[in-house]
Structure 1
Amino acid sequence: MPKLPKSVTHRLPLGYWGDHLPQPSVEKRPDETRMRVRIPKPDYGHKKGWIIRHASATGLTFPDWDDEERCYRVPKMHLAQFINAAVEEWGDCSVRLAFNTQERCTPACKHGTGAACTCSCLGANHGAARNGGEGVYAAWERVSDVTDETAGLRIVTFRVSDPFNDVVRGAA
């Protein structure tokens, strides 16, 4: 199935992820404990079957279906595992993250593992001290960047086509 051009997908409003989009997507907001996950139908079965099979194989917490938002809800701590599995299955993944513009980047971020950056560096410095000076999001293509002044957030959408490195997995 052909992918929608980036010029179309980056203009979609926050919270809109139509079932027609041919790539998986994840949205992580700081005010929620579980991220929103949407996947296209796998070639070999049902969406629920893929996500359940992946969850049990990697030790992910079993996802919940959110009828109102029409997405699966997965704990935020599984961001890296979901992105790696989605990239392996579909070739890329759309990732929308919210960063706190008031939160200063600290040594804890620069030495961090995992994909839990929420500070004003927008992930550019996250894990850089453990990864040769390059943040864990460095290989991701930034598709859009929107600032919500009232909430003090920058919402950044990335297109990820490379799996996470060992710094994110916590192995470095």
Structure 2
Amino acid sequence: MTEPWIRRGYDQTRLWMRMPFGATNRAWLHDELGDRIRPEWNNTVRPGRWEIAKPHLRMLTTALANRFEEVHVYLEFSTTERCDRKCQTASGDDCTCSCRGEHHGGGTYWMDWHLVGEDTLIGPVGRVERHYIVRRGDVGL
């Protein structure tokens, strides 16, 4: 059985999604996301995948987790990471900025950080992809 997954590329206009084959998958997508969505099946890539508008990420993730117990979510972030000086110098565990803990407490001390404004740090990190597993009942993204 194919594990369901969703991928959001920062430079893509649509989400890429895969789930186990079912004759009613298109109808299920419409039931979960609304009749106005236009899911496209892309069979020019192997294996094939569904392509759906990006604004449906949260709703699609929740629906897939509820249907299949869990869904793998891959989120790609742009080439520049933004972080806060408070994050980089933090000593506790709690990280709430866009780096998702990557630079918390000075985690990447070798980076060439540039201070922009009073507190925002910008550093070049290239294309970054984060992998999450969202299970049925999770709060979601």
Output the TM-score relative to the length of structure 2: 0.61
Q: Secondary structure at the match of 1:26?
A: strand
> Is 1:155–2:135 an aligned residue pair?
no
- Give the Cα separation in 1 of the matches to 2:137 and 2:80: 29
Aligned-pair CA distance for 1:53: 2.5
Structure 1 residues 152 and 99: alpha-carbon distance in aligned structure 2, compared to 1, 3 A threshold: same
What residue number does 2:44 align with?
A: 68
Structure 1 residues 120 and 100: alpha-carbon distance in aligned structure 2, compared to 1, 3 A threshold: farther
What pairs with 1:84-95 in structure 2 (closer than 5 Å)?
Answer: 84-95=62-73
Q: Secondary structure at the match of 1:84?
A: helix
1:36-94 CA distance string (max 9 Å, x none): 0111135xx532232232232xx662212212131111111110000010111111001
Q: Which has the higher contact order (CA 8 A, sep 6+)?
A: 2
Q: Secondary structure at the match of 2:60?
A: helix
In structure 1, the gaps of 5 or more residues are 1-19, 107-118, 125-150
> Is 1:32–2:33 an aligned residue pair?
no
1:91-123 CA distance string (max 9 Å, x none): 1001111123523146xxxxxxxxxxxx8514x
What is the alpha-carbon root mean square deviation over aligned residues?
Answer: 2.9
Structure 1 residues 60 and 83: alpha-carbon distance in aligned structure 2, compared to 1, 3 A threshold: farther
Structure 1 residues 99 and 160: alpha-carbon distance in aligned structure 2, compared to 1, 3 A threshold: same
Whichever structure has more helix as a proportion of its residues is: 1
Name the count of aligned residue pairs: 105
Output the TM-score relative to the length of structure 1: 0.51
Aligned pair partner of 1:77 in 38, 42, 55: 55
- Give the Cα separation in 2 of the matches to 1:77 and 1:164: 19
Letter in 2 for 1:65: W
What residue number does 1:103 align with?
A: 81
The higher radius of gyration belongs to: 2
Aligned-pair CA distance for 1:164: 5.7
Structure 1 residues 101 and 120: alpha-carbon distance in aligned structure 2, compared to 1, 3 A threshold: farther
Task: State whether residues 8 and 54 of structure 2, in contact with CA within 8 Å, keep that contact through their aligned partners in structure 1.
Answer: yes
- Give the Cα separation in 2 of the matches to 1:98 and 1:68: 22
Whichever structure has more strand as a proportion of its residues is: 2
